[in-house]
Amino acid sequence: MTIRFITQYFFATLTVLCFSANSHSDNSGSASPTVHNDAHAIRAIINTTYDTPENKVTINPVVVEGDHAVASWIVAEKGGRVVMFRTPNNKWEIVLCSGKVVKEEKFLKETGIPDISARKLAINLAKEEAKLPAATIALFDSFSAIVRGAHHSRNDSNASEHFKNSDTLHPSNHND
Nearest to 174 by CA among 96, 80, 81, 104: 104
The pLDDT of residue 124 is 97
pTM: 0.70
CB 94 within 8 A of CB 23: no
> Is pLDDT of 162 > 50?
no
Kindly state the average pLDDT of the residues 15-44: 55
**Beta-sheet strands, E only, within the chain:** 58-65, 68-75, 78-86, 92-98, 146-148, 168-169
Q: How far apart are CA 150 and CA 147, in angstroms?
A: 10
- Cα 55-103-6 angle, rounded to 5 deg: 15
Task: Answer with the residue of higher pLDDT: 74 or 168.
Answer: 74
Q: State pLDDT tens for residues 97-108.
A: 999 999 999 999
Q: State pLDDT tens for residues 110-139.
A: 999 999 999 999 999 999 999 999 999 999
Q: How far apart are CA 68 and CA 124, in angstroms?
A: 12
Q: State pLDDT tens for residues 42-98.
A: 999 999 888 889 999 999 999 999 999 999 999 988 999 999 999 999 999 999 999
Q: State pLDDT tens for residues 4-14.
A: 444 444 444 44
Confidence band of 34 (pLDDT split at 50, 70, 90): low
> Is pLDDT of 168 > 60?
no
> Is pLDDT of 140 > 90?
yes
Confidence band of 158 (pLDDT split at 50, 70, 90): very low
